[in-house]
Structure 1
Amino acid sequence: MVPHVRWCRPPRNWLKCNVSASWGSHNLKGGAARIVQDHCGIPLFHSRRAFFGHTSIIEAELQSLLWSIRALIDLRIKSVVIESSLIQVREALLKPHEHLEWRHLIDTITGLLNEFDGVSLEHVVAGRNKIASSIAQSVTSDHRYQSYVATGGHTWLSSLLRKEELSSLVRS
């Protein structure tokens, strides 16, 4: 059976936040990204952040998730599905006892999840996280170090957003 790789809608009255990270071991530069969409697949906002000095992919991925969760709380989002294809994050959250070096980040993340009225943290295949991954990779591959928060869809991602929106409409 082939796994479902299209973006899936969150429940009505919930939002979905796709989170990703990119990291270069050669220069310790990384990027984090998130895109928040409503239950119809309409992008509400997206963000990118560059960071420097993270010494491992797991640190970069955990910091990316933490950055996204804090932003969702600051934006007073109450119910959210957080999707990520970050493998290191998945392993760290499922087996925190095996990641003692990152326990402070793991504990902070799990504690902040209690701030939401409704939250679901889900690990998904990379195909369901293409947009956030593209934004995060723009930091490391295109050297886009300027952080931003934008509403709607970004022009260089508009074709991906449109495909995602259409695929979610077909399945409804």
Structure 2
Amino acid sequence: MEYARNDATEWKQTGASKLTQGGLNGKGESSRRESHWTRPPQDWLKCNTYGSFMNIGVQSTVGWIIRDENGVYKGAAQATGKRVMNPLESELQGILMAVQHCWALGFRKIILENDCIQAIDILNGKTLHFSFYDWIREIKWWIMRFDEV
């Protein structure tokens, strides 16, 4: 939620005039954010997702926030997920939950944004990671239900 508050503050301060193209966007794996939140195109929503991993014995936590092209809040949630083996699996679990939530709210044109470049590359087909095949397959199945992602 801290990232969401920072994004909202940045958007208010800069006006966030740049538009992004549809797709999954990554900003790198560093903890310091190097760019500002950008507006989605008109009639699209942007869903920023975050996953948290403590250790193998603890359930992961995930969160997401959804905003429209004017930066208007359209929804957010957090959830406790399954126990996962590493941070990447937590990020994928968070993306899946966010996509399912967007679908349940009736949103059909979304841009997913996540700061884990490895998750983004896997979902965009740039790299393969067979140990997460089930997560990837499930996310892609849900994505196919939308008009555009």
Q: Quick check: TM above 0.5?
A: yes
Instruction: Return the index of the structure with the highest Cα Rg.
Output: 1
Cα distance in 2 for partners of 1:46, 1:30 equals 17
TM-score, normalising length: structure 1: 0.61
Matched, 1:67 2:97: yes
Structure 2, unaligned runs of 5 or more: 1-32
Displacement of 1:64 after TM fit?
A: 0.7
Displacement of 1:38 after TM fit?
A: 1.1
Matched, 1:24 2:62: no
Structure 1, unaligned runs of 5 or more: 120-172
Q: Which residue of 1 aligns with 2:112?
A: 82
For residues 17-166 of structure 1, what are the structure 2 equivalents within 5 Å? Answer: 17-25=47-55, 27-95=57-125, 98-119=128-149
Q: Which has the higher contact order (CA 8 A, sep 6+)?
A: 1
Cα distance in 2 for partners of 1:52, 1:100 equals 19
Cα distance in 1 for partners of 2:59, 2:111 equals 28
Residues paired across the two proteins, number: 117
Contact 1:21-1:60 within 8 A present in 2 as well: yes
- Deviation track 1:49-89 (CA, whole Å, cap 9, x = no partner) reads 12352121122111111111111111110111111112331
Contact 1:19-1:33 within 8 A present in 2 as well: yes
Cα distance in 2 for partners of 1:99, 1:6 equals 29
Q: Which has the higher helix share?
A: 1
Runs (4+) off by over 3 Å: 94-98
CA RMSD, Structure 1 to Structure 2 (Å) = 2.1
- Deviation track 1:97-156 (CA, whole Å, cap 9, x = no partner) reads 73112112111211211111121xxxxxxxxxxxxxxxxxxxxxxxxxxxxxxxxxxxxx
Cα distance in 1 for partners of 2:53, 2:100 equals 20
Percentage identity across paired residues of the two chains = 25
